[in-house]
Structure 1
């Protein structure tokens, strides 16, 4: 079988199954099976494929047709132009979260050293990306899962930011204490999080790709979907320096409630940022 024939065979199976991105999925899975880039898939479409390559590509296709996301099959996912290793204990990074990265970068000076904290770091996609883009910053990366922290640490090392990446197993901000920061004392410059925000009652309405392959711990936001925001904001006001900022990813209908929490705890300069689909996606605020 030729490279081009194998790709089209897999693509057609995905089309028939009604997958949302059959061409892209087929390109990623077949090119990975054949250990070539996606562009080489086109350039080498008349090359012969060995038995092992065909078997591996078909195995990938079967997993995809069974509902496994491409990233889980390959064990990695691209985010903000970088590849991140995945683990069963981590959420698969989504393109929508890149809005959160942009929001922080647009409000940060890459020449100024900042102490940042990423809550629920998972793969470390947020933390590692910000460290890579802000070379004078340091990051405390919190997660309740030791497995997730190991995955994030590996990603930090592979992207050359491991020396500025400090993993800590903790439940939200509890391990950082409750000491008030002052204008003369230390404090965090940024607290950033993509916390669990799905209401418990609607978890089962999510796609099977999410339910079966993303950890529940990273999805379940409690009865209202707001539990994580309440906990983080309550502690953040004590840990941020004056003028320090906080940034959250939010659900499309949560901006009003998150803004109320922030105002209640004395935050100001609150901004709501939309994603490419026009939905509320990120909240940014400043400790006054």
Structure 2
């Protein structure tokens, strides 16, 4: 017989920077319990079936497969999301987009928002949940991502959001929004990090954007003005060294009040600007 404390003590994930957290998440999932259960009942006997499931999870993690893909879910902002291998795993730094959007727009007004390249729907659905009076549109060019985001939307019962199949702005021609935001692909094609860590398992189409990583950012910035309402905002996540380039892009396309914010690692992470009246 094996107890929870023994499994936690003996599990090894030598190549994971978050080994302890990974082990706890995987064991909790194998048991069908929250992580708090592990520490509340460390002497609880683990069934053979749960122990085998945990062993399988550990083996997959040792190959580098992200925990979110193993478990099929990931928390983001105030919601839990289904995730799959055809979308990026939502990351904590992307929550800055949600936080900044909530700061930029008055909460009591029925604003219209557009999330470009929504993936799991993390950004759009977080905003729709926090601001039920807003109308949020989420788009993605990958049909499987659209279906995934729609499943998340339905599970969260967010009737003020819609998910559309669209290559950037193609499905919203003629529409204008008070705020457009995006976490687009922004990794250079030659970036060595693409062959390292969890990123190896994520879809390159959601990561890579040309030789310098700026192809999609250029397209979004150039096309956004005709889709923004008067005094509308464009809010973008980008690479840690791309802040100057994104600021130049926004300035070159008539944006004003341009600002950049840094993430917890003190890297320039999001940049935003406003179209003139």
Question: Normalising by structure 2, what TM-score?
Answer: 0.96
Which residue is equivalent to 2:177? 188
- CA displacement at 1:207 relative to structure 2: 1.7
Q: What RMSD in Å do the two structures reach over aligned CA positions? A: 1.3
Aligned residues: 275
Query: Alpha-carbon deviation of 1:206?
Result: 4.3
Residue of structure 1 in register with 2:19 after alignment:
22
Provide the secondary structure at the position in 1 that maps to 2:191.
helix
Distance in 1 separating the partners of 2:160 and 2:202: 27
For the pair 1:122 / 2:119, whether they are aligned, the reply is yes
Q: Show structure 1 runs of 5+ residues with no match.
A: 180-185
How far apart are 1:281 and its partner, in Å? 0.4
Alpha-carbon shift at residue 174 of structure 1 (Å): 2.4
Q: TM-score, normalised by structure 1?
A: 0.92
In the TM superposition, 1:242-253 aligns within 5 A as 242-253=230-241
Tell me how far apart the structure 1 counterparts of residues 171 and 145 of structure 2 sit (CA, whole Å): 17
**Which residue is equivalent to 1:265?**
253
Go from structure 1 to structure 2 and tell me whether the alpha carbon gap of 1:81 and 1:7 turns closer, same or farther (over 3 Å shift): farther
Answering whether residue 196 of structure 2 is matched by residue 207 of structure 1, we say: yes
- Give the secondary-structure state (helix, strand or coil) at the position aligned to 1:221: coil
Partner in structure 1 of residue 70 of structure 2: 73
Tell me the residue number matched to 2:50: 53
Distance 2:134 2:121 in 1: 15
1:226 aligns with 2:214: yes
Output one character per residue of 1:188-207: Cα deviation in whole Å (capped at 9) or x when no partner.
10100000000111156442
Q: Report what 1:95 is aligned to.
A: 92
Stretches of 4+ aligned residues off by more than 3 angstroms: 203-206
| Unaligned residue ranges in structure 2 (runs of 5+) | none
Distance 2:192 2:199 in 1: 9
Residues in 2 aligned to 1:249 and 1:234: alpha-carbon distance in whole angstroms: 16
Which secondary structure does the structure 1 equivalent of 2:210 belong to?
coil
